[in-house]
Amino acid sequence: MSFRKILTTGKVWITSDTHFGHKNLVRGVTNWRTPDGEVPVDSTRDFQTIEQMNERLIDGINNVVGQDDTLIMLGDVSFGGFDNIGIFLERLVCHNIHLILGNHDHHIENNRDFVQGRFLSVQHYLEANIEGQDFVLCHYPLQSWHGLNKGVIHLHGHVHLPPHRRFGNGKRMDVGVDGNGMDPYSISEIIKIMDKIPVGSDMSGDHHLDGLVGVVG
């Protein structure tokens, strides 16, 4: 396997699905409703205003991610218009950011006003070696991934899972802010967590796990 080595002079942090400025994720102002007309508590964040959520997102990153650290974001950076991307990024202490594109990152994917230049790299999918550990990074959760039988860790976002559901079957984890009190994770913390989790897959019958001789990938 050939995984791209992510080099940094400081610590490496990872997060996903910040959704800076996303009104409908804010419980106090959302227009979303359940079929019985109630505010969907499980699908919204416990804030009364967009400003409260935005400040918490910024504080959550700036309180732990230093200027010389590296931040990896697994998509859905912001919402509510192109300008929110710059407003959010300018308020972060760290500007060493790798972005894995999410389904709401169309302005960045289209490189409007050369916004991709605000990031160290921009891609849909990344196989990376960080602090000696191999990772498969994607906005979307994968059922099976390159090297899962060799202990490669798959990190994703997209599904906004709560803390008790953030782990898949095997070394797969949702690193979105909704599962971590609106804060990012350190890569060192994730490696320690995943060391205790056995290799596995969410796809039944995955031949990468059955010990066949000669299986590649």
* Longest alpha-carbon distance in the chain: 56
Whether residue 86 contacts residue 77, with contact meaning beta carbons closer than 8 Å, is answered with: no
What span, in angstroms and rounded, lies between the C-alpha atoms of 204 and 198?
16
pLDDT band at 6 (very low <50, low <70, confident <90, very high): confident
Give the pLDDT confidence score for residue 212 in this predicted structure: 44
Q: What is the pLDDT of residues 133-186, one digit of tens each?
A: 999 999 999 999 999 999 999 999 999 999 999 999 999 999 999 999 999 999
Mean pLDDT of 90-110: 97
pTM assigned to the model: 0.93
Q: How far apart are CA 209 and CA 169, in angstroms?
A: 12
What are the chain's domains? 4-201 (3.60.21.10)
**205 residue type, one letter:** G
Chain-centroid distance of CA 204 in Å reads 25
> In the structure encoding, which two tokens stand for residue 103, read together?
């389904």
Sign of CA pseudo-dihedral 171, 178, 117, 190: negative
- Answer yes or no: is pLDDT of 213 > 50: no
**Res. 211 pLDDT band, cuts 50 70 90:** low
